[in-house]
């Protein structure tokens, strides 16, 4: 990769290193300078630019990030489209994050151009949560380094996976003493139920025997006969030794002790045992509290069918200090910080227009490669993961609905469709559900927009980095669909006229992110019989 300060007239095809503002021109870093860009810069009297040129041995940043992320992504993970050299990985299920930290380190040691960041191993994750990111630091990565990283990431099996939680029949033994109140036992049950419910399981059987070795043995045996696995034992008195009452009762039932204690605080006094193939846990006293403790780490693995060994327990000291300190907010102090997750993006497909330039035919119902034009738009939106997909109807709404009868869409009708495009945008925006991060505004008469075009827009969306309006471009021209962050939903509901939301793009220029597309599909809609005939090759 050649990094240089170069004369502007020699910079066509080079990648701009720093954002540049001159007169009315604003070019962001990473822009590939076109001939028209060079002419505009020359008109603005910009004589030199700092830019890079890629060499044959370089892999462009998005291509490199996508290749490495694809090699990393294992079961129950999803790869987002790359943007600005970054490709994110998301969980596809609630479960436990699995990977080998040593292998991750080996990948990150290959080349400074390639970086992979992943959540802590064995962390509990939820569906849609971001679990990792690949970032190419400069504008390209050396091919030889990328090939080495990809080979290591995919070695034997893909590095990163999520072990999903599966429903388990959990048994609970809660021993009693005269000094232990029923209210304490009931509260403990409620807290354990909440823990398990969050991971897709529940307590199917509970026994409350006296706190004696023989009674514990009988209770454990009974729960195992009922098919419970795992079995949890919480004593009325804390376990202080592997020969104490709770572990002795587990052994008397026919079980075996694997390990007592763990380098996690709170959670030190946890017991790991087994009875045949059934895991049996002696719980620390802190399990009666909803606060995070070492028991949570072990329970999550078991409910995701990830074996836990004595060695696993003894290696939990790194990050094992969980005690409340002033800089670590606890759940009872307020809502926990939100976890980074895939944005929740809906799609509005505008299908209300009169199609007047097409003549008698409603262009939205015209078939393109065997499917109605509007159906192709809806299918692309669905395939991108956008949900819900809301179709705004107006002119000949029955025909449009019939063309979409087999698709899972939501319809909303615009009775004022004849008053212009803005009325349909307003109608669609008002139909959006709560909790969305963004919406894609799609046109029903653009049959060549694919899910790939849409996922590129979604990948570019990042409110933290100021990218809240994402616009597709080809050869320097802006097209459709456009992705709008939730911050603009209110403005979309107040639009007027027949130009849609173009003026909002101008009013919020600093938030606009231009997303280069691989072809000109984002620039082509179909308005006339001649355009339709040309698209059909007639």
The pLDDT of residue 333 is 42
Confidence grade of residue 465 (pLDDT, cut at 50, 70, 90): confident
Output the CA torsion sign for 476, 481, 487, 490: positive
Query: What percent of the chain is modeled with pLDDT above 90?
Result: 86
Q: Which CATH class is domain 2-53?
A: alpha beta
The pLDDT of residue 338 is 63
pTM value is 0.86
**Which pair of structure tokens corresponds to residue 144?**
């030889």
| Secondary structure percentages of the chain, helix, strand, coil, to 5 | 35, 25, 40
Output 393 or 465, whichever has higher pLDDT.
393
The pLDDT of residue 517 is 94
CATH code given to domain 169-321: 3.40.980.10
In 3D space, the residue among 195, 424, 223, 361 whose CA is nearest the CA of residue 288 turns out to be 195
169-321 matches 2-53 in CATH topology = no
Average pLDDT, the chain: 93
Output 346 or 475, whichever has higher pLDDT.
346
**Which pair of structure tokens corresponds to residue 191?**
């807290």
CATH code given to domain 58-164: 3.90.1170.30
In 3D space, the residue among 55, 50, 53 whose CA is nearest the CA of residue 14 turns out to be 53
Confidence grade of residue 457 (pLDDT, cut at 50, 70, 90): very high
**Which pair of structure tokens corresponds to residue 195?**
């823990």
The pLDDT of residue 391 is 97
pLDDT at 95 over 50: yes
Average pLDDT for 374-402: 96
Model confidence over 224-254: pLDDT tens digits?
A: 999 999 999 999 999 999 999 999 999 999 9
Q: Are strands 271-275 and 278-282 parallel, antiparallel or unpaired?
A: antiparallel
Alpha-carbon gap, residue 444 to 526, rounded angstroms: 9
**Which pair of structure tokens corresponds to residue 493?**
């509901």
- CB distance 234 to 174 below 8 Å: yes
The pLDDT of residue 75 is 98
3-state SS class at 509: helix
For the chain, which residues make up each domain, given as ranges? 2-53, 58-164, 169-321, 345-535
The CATH number fitting domain 345-535, selected from 3.40.50.620, 1.10.260.40, 3.90.550.10, 3.40.50.2300: 3.90.550.10
Model confidence over 176-186: pLDDT tens digits?
A: 999 999 999 99
CA distances from 446 to 57, 192, 397, 527 (A): 37, 53, 18, 10
Contacts of 102 (CB under 8 A, 6+ apart): none
Contacts of 333 (CB under 8 A, 6+ apart): none
The pLDDT of residue 482 is 97
Q: Are strands 512-516 and 469-474 parallel, antiparallel or unpaired?
A: parallel
The pLDDT of residue 510 is 86
**Alpha-helical segments (H) within 404-480:** 421-430, 451-460
Quick check: bond before 388 cis, omega within 30?
A: yes
- CB distance 142 to 189 below 8 Å: no
The pLDDT of residue 355 is 79
Model confidence over 289-344: pLDDT tens digits?
A: 999 999 999 999 999 999 999 999 999 999 999 975 444 444 434 445 567 789 99
DSSP labels, 72-97: HB-TTEEEPPPBTTEEEEEESSSEEE
Integer Rg of the chain from CA: 29
């Amino acid at each position: 990769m050649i990094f240089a300060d170069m004369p502007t007239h020699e910079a066509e095809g080079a990648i701009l290193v720093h954002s540049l503002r001159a007169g009315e021109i604003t070019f962001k870093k990473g822009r590939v300078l076109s001939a028209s860009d060079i002419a505009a810069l020359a008109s603005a009297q910009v004589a030199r630019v700092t830019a890079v040129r890629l060499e044959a041995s370089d892999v462009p940043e998005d291509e490199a990030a996508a290749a490495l992320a694809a090699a990393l992504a294992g079961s129950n993970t999803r790869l987002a489209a790359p943007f600005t050299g970054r490709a994110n990985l998301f969980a596809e299920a609630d479960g436990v994050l699995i990977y080998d930290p040593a292998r991750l380190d080996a990948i990150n040691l290959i080349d400074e151009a390639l970086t992979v960041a992943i959540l802590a191993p064995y962390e509990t994750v939820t569906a849609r949560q971001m679990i990792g990111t690949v970032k190419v630091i400069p504008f390209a990565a050396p091919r030889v380094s990328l090939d080495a990283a990809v080979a290591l990431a995919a070695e034997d099996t893909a590095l990163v996976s999520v072990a999903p939680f599966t429903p388990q029949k959990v048994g609970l033994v809660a021993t009693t003493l005269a000094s232990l109140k029923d209210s304490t036992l009931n509260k403990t049950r409620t807290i354990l139920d909440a823990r398990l419910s969050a991971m897709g399981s529940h307590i199917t059987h509970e026994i409350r025997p006296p706190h004696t070795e023989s009674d514990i043995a009988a209770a454990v045996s009974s729960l195992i006969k009922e098919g419970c696995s795992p079995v949890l034992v919480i004593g009325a008195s804390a376990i202080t030794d592997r020969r104490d009452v709770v572990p002795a009762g587990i052994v008397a039932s026919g079980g075996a002790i694997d390990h007592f204690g763990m380098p996690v605080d709170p959670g030190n006094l946890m017991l790991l045992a087994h009875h045949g193939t059934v895991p049996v846990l002696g719980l620390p006293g802190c399990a009666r509290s909803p606060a995070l403790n070492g028991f949570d780490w072990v329970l999550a693995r078991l409910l995701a069918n990830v074996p836990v060994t004595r060695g696993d327990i003894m290696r939990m000291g790194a990050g094992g200090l969980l005690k409340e300190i002033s800089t670590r907010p606890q759940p009872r102090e307020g809502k926990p910080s939100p976890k980074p997750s895939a944005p929740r993006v809906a799609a509005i497909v505008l299908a209300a227009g009169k199609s007047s330039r097409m003549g008698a035919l409603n262009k939205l119902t015209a078939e393109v490669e065997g499917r109605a034009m509007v159906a192709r738009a809806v299918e692309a939106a669905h395939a991108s993961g956008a949900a819900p997909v809301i179709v705004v109807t107006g002119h000949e709404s029955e025909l449009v609905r019939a063309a979409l009868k087999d698709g899972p869409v939501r319809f909303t009708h615009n009775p004022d469709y004849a008053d212009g495009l803005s009325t349909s945008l307003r109608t669609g925006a008002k139909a959006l559900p709560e909790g969305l991060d963004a919406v894609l505004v799609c046109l029903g008469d653009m049959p060549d927009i694919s899910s790939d075009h849409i996922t590129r827009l979604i990948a570019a969306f990042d409110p933290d980095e100021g990218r809240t309006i994402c616009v597709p471009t080809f050869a320097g021209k802006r097209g459709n669909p456009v992705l709008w962050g939730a911050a603009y939903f209110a403005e979309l509901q107040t639009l007027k006229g027949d130009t849609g939301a173009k003026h909002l793009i101008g009013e919020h220029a600093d938030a606009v992110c231009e997303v280069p597309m691989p072809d000109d599909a984002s620039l082509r809609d179909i308005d006339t019989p001649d355009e339709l005939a040309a698209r059909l090759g007639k």
